[in-house]
Amino acid sequence: MAKIPLLFCFFLSSFALVDFSTAAPKKFVGVYEIKKGDFSVNITNWGATVISVILPDSKGHLADIALGFDSVIPYINDTTYFGAIVGRVANRIAGARFKLNGKEYKLVANDGKNMLHGGHRGFSKVIWSVKEQKAGKFPYITFTYRSFDGEQGFPGNLAVAVTYKITGDYELSVTMTAKALNKPTPVNLAQHTYWNLAGHNSGDILSNTLQLFASHYTPVDSGLIPTGKILSVEQTPYDFLRPYKIGSRIDKLPTGYDINYVLDVSHPDHHGMKKTAMVKDNKSGRSMELWSNQPGVQFYTGNFLKDVVGKGGYVYGPHDGLCLETQGFPDSVNHPNFPSQIVNPGKVYRHDMLFKFSF
Ligand SMILES: *[C@@H]1O[C@H](CO)[C@@H](O)[C@H](O)[C@H]1NC(C)=O
Ligand SMILES: *[C@@H]1O[C@H](CO)[C@@H](O)[C@H](O)[C@H]1NC(C)=O
Ligand SMILES: *[C@@H]1O[C@H](CO)[C@@H](O)[C@H](O)[C@H]1NC(C)=O
């Protein structure tokens, strides 16, 4: 575990990034590894961000399949959300405002007039505490963050925790919880890793095969805000009910996939989770199965990646990675027909994800 005293640079250069009223006396930013055999995952407490995921391919060659940066520093001003936990409310909130119990809340707009991924200083841009790290048969690490009433405009104090755990051979689970402490608040956390099963530096993911267990999606306007409709994927490029190559119909969309799917209701059969998606890469032979307990998944093909200098100097471009961000529906706070994301005081939000890799 490498500890970098980043706090010092904040004093010098990035004053606005740290709210000293809530910063614990000494908060270090470090890189933490959880590892089992030749499967290893590195995570920093800056944004509880996954920095690398390393595993073999069918020929035994190791590769890092998560896009990102060599050190923690570039994550500070990063706008891609590589590997981060995003919140308090992931995705977009139209007009950066919502009403709850008759009161209007004005949020920090950071995507034109909308809020994206919790604002300028969402959970991906704060220092989390390392609560516990354990090696052993099922290595894990737990990060916590105490969000305060009014942070980025959201109501109430919120106690947030994220655990990354290796639960089996080439299996990574992510558990996110958030307890509302004194006021009702929307909560919608998401894990924002960009995956490239052939290796983070191997070009685009368009030849990957994707299967998504979702018969419906929530269409959006030109600002990527849901219209409120829930449409069938049938006869559209959004249909991945059977496995399709990601690139096979991407030309029919303006910039690529960046859309929320409504996951089909099935009998949950893995610790309350249902199968969400399968991705296969033929070049490396790697595949990834994703399970979750969430109602939706945002499928994003890295459309906005452009000239991002990443690990080893590799320059990421459009479609060099894909995100499968399980979550509630975008802008739910402004769409009464979408599943509610309101968590009442004393109640706990819980989001489970399980990634099963094979090769
Ligand atoms: C992961 O973190 C460990 C401990 O900080 C470090 O030794 C290792 O080099 C890191 N691996 C990668 C791929 O960054
Ligand atoms: C982040 O951006 C700010 C404002 O442009 C700049 O002052 C700061 O040096 C940047 N920090 C890093 C670590 O690049
Ligand atoms: C992947 O490889 C298998 C067997 O080698 C082949 O049947 C399949 O069509 C390939 N899929 C794609 C999307 O290229």
Q: Which of 192, 319, 335, 351 is catalytic?
A: 192
Q: What is the mean pLDDT of residues 47-58?
A: 97
Return d(Cα 249, Cα 148) in angstroms, integer. Answer: 44
The rounded Å distance from CA 36 to ligand 1 centre is 13
Query: Which residue, by CA, sits nearest to atom 8 of ligand 3?
Result: 282
In this structure, what token pair is assigned to residue 180? 């509302």
Mutate to test the pocket of ligand 1, among 1, 4, 28, 31 (most ligand atoms within 8 A of CB): 31
pLDDT number for residue 26: 62
Whether pLDDT at 24 is above 80:
no
Closest CA to 87 of 286, 267, 327, 355: 327
Relative to the CA of 2, which ligand 1 atom is closest? 5
pLDDT tens digits for range 183-200: 999 999 999 999 999 999
Q: Are strands 209-212 and 244-245 parallel, antiparallel or unpaired?
A: antiparallel
pLDDT number for residue 269: 77
Active site residue 192: yes
Ligand nearest to the CA of 6: 2
- pTM value is 0.92
Q: Other CB atoms closer than 10 Å to residue 241's CB: what's the count?
A: 14
The rounded Å distance from CA 51 to ligand 2 centre is 20
Whether pLDDT at 85 is above 70:
yes
Relative to the CA of 64, which ligand 1 atom is closest? 13
Report residue 271's pLDDT band, with 50, 70 and 90 as the boundaries: confident
Q: Which residue has the tokens 């977009």?
A: 92
Compute the Cα dihedral for 77, 153, 31, 85 and give only its sign.
negative
Query: Which residue, by CA, sits nearest to atom 7 of ligand 1?
Result: 1
Q: Which of 151, 216, 325, 351 is catalytic?
A: 325
